[in-house]
Amino acid sequence: MWRAAADRLARALRSYEKVAGAVPAGTGRDELEAAFALLAAAVADGRAACAAAQAAAPSSGLDVPAGPGGAHADLHHRLTRLGAEVAAAAEGAAMVRVGDASALARVGTRAARARTEAAEVLARARGTVHP
């Protein structure tokens, strides 16, 4: 289950990279590349959180392992939200690609939000591993 969450994060980032890479230079491309750096760092933290969670609560199925006080369920929920933020940033990049310049600010906001969320997710995952 943790592996599937990590894979979803990686797919969302690849989607963003593919879409942003198709945006012509000069139409917000620099901003999209800056957002990509934030998203890549967020996904790296998210994947590290998945690895820590797998070490603490191994799961080979699709069910979230039981944990103290619902900690694993909360972590999975946060990882899902992180993936949604990265995917939404990819959608925003697609809007920029088709000429919606106003979407550029939303992409930056989502990337910053994803970065913050990922740092919190990783801290929680590491706290779960090392109480």
CATH of the domain at 28: 1.20.120
Region 101-110: mean pLDDT is: 94
Query: Around 125, how many Cα atoms within 13 Å sit in the side-chain half-sphere?
Result: 25
Q: What is the domain count for the chain?
A: 1
Instruction: Indicate whether 129 pLDDT > 80.
Output: no
Domain that holds residue 6: 2-129
- 44 pLDDT band, cuts 50/70/90, is very high
Instruction: Indicate whether 70 pLDDT > 90.
Output: no
pTM of this prediction? Answer: 0.90
Instruction: Indicate whether 53 pLDDT > 50.
Output: yes
pLDDT above 90: percentage of residues in the chain? 69
Region 74-94: mean pLDDT is: 94
